[in-house]
């Protein structure tokens, strides 16, 4: 596995969505903490716990081909010394989509990052579909991260 | 609003589910941080941001009457100095339910707590239904909180 170091939670989040777009399993798993307590909830899915279950789920997702573009919007970030929580909307554009095609429903994600000895890593990704909305979201203005001391 | 102090994130979580069971709006809102960045996602719902939107949603939910019993299970807790993240299954028993009645689907919740000057407060509640499962969950053994330093 690649041993990428993410100096900030935002760096880890950027790498998460880049790996998701590319269907890059090693890149995806490099974002996750090597810890039994990591948790992933895909939209409409059950809780997956631990690296093995999470790797298996992304393997299955990436086997279906490119995931398209993901525009991350409306981030609310709350940052502590050791933990950071980001709430974001994920707006997907499917590969090959043309103007006038149905727009996939946006996904709402809560992402939690932990500062480890090897930089910031993802420990929770909880995603759920937003009902009856078309991307992009007009709500909730962007705001900078809130730093806790 | 009542000014309850929660010495731990677990105390705040207990108060959250007690208020949910009782349909106690003041008790519920006393759990939430008085901060614009608080976020609540009800099962299948949009992101609500800020005390006003969150209070309004619980007002509407509690107006429908008692919420029944909530059994919280399979907690995974990750605790920092300032932030704590709990992942739990919520198993509801509706009021007046009899043996043999349909069991509500379990809910999966990611709860995030912040240590404030007024004790631990909830800042994120992200809930989503677990598909095709009956309560209680057989997965993921209980484990004690993981303390970060």
**pLDDT value of position B35:** 77
Which pair of tokens denotes residue A16? 């998460």
Nearest one of B34, B36, B30, B35 to B3, comparing CA atoms: B30
Assembly ipTM: 0.85
Residues of chain A with a CB closer than 8 angstroms to some CB in chain B: 37, 39, 41, 43-47, 49, 74, 76, 78, 80-85, 87, 89, 108, 110, 112, 114, 123-124, 126, 128-131, 133, 139-140, 143, 146, 148
Which tokens belong to A129?
Answer: 């579909």
- Backbone angles phi and psi of A36, in degrees to 5: -65, -25
Looking at residue A141, its pLDDT comes to 40
Q: What is the pLDDT of residue B95?
A: 77
* Residue B39 predicted with pLDDT over 50: yes
pLDDT digits (tens, 9 = 90+) for A58-67: 999 999 877 7
Judge: B46–A130 Cβ closer than 8 Å, yes or no: yes
Query: Are A110 and B128 inside 8 Å of each other by CB?
Result: no
Average pLDDT (B65-86) is 90
Query: Within 10 A of A59 (CB to CB), how many other CB atoms are there?
Result: 12
Let me know the angle formed at the C-alpha of A82 by A80 and A87, rounded to the nearest 5 degrees.
55
Mean per-residue pLDDT over chain B, rounded: 87
Residue B140, pLDDT score? 40
Q: What is the pLDDT of residue B136?
A: 43
Cβ proximity of B71 and B136 under 8 Å: yes
Grade residue A35 by pLDDT with cuts at 50, 70 and 90.
confident
What are the distances in angstroms from CA A60 to CA A70, A105, A115, B92? Answer: 18, 21, 28, 31
Residue B76 is given by DSSP the state E
Whether pLDDT at B135 is above 70: no
* Each residue's pLDDT tens digit, A79-102: 988 999 999 999 998 877 777 777
Q: Is the pLDDT of residue B22 over 90?
A: yes
Q: How many residues does chain A have?
A: 149
Name the percent of chain B in helix, strand, coil, to the closest 5.
25, 35, 40
């Amino acid at each position: 596995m690649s041993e990428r170091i993410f100096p900030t939670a935002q760096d880890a989040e950027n790498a998460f969505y880049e790996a998701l777009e590319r269907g890059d399993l090693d890149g995806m798993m490099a974002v996750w903490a090597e810890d039994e307590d990591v948790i992933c909830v895909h939209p409409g899915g059950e809780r997956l716990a631990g690296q093995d279950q999470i790797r298996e789920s992304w393997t299955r997702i990436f086997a279906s081909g490119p995931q398209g573009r993901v525009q991350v919007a409306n981030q609310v970030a709350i940052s502590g010394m050791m933990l950071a929580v980001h709430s974001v909307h994920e707006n997907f554009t499917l590969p090959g989509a043309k103007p006038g095609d149905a727009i996939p429903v946006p996904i709402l994600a809560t992402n939690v990052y932990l500062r480890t000895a090897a930089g910031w890593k993802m420990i929770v990704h909880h995603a759920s579909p937003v009902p009856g909305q078309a991307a992009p979201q007009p709500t909730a203005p962007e705001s900078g991260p809130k730093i806790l001391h």
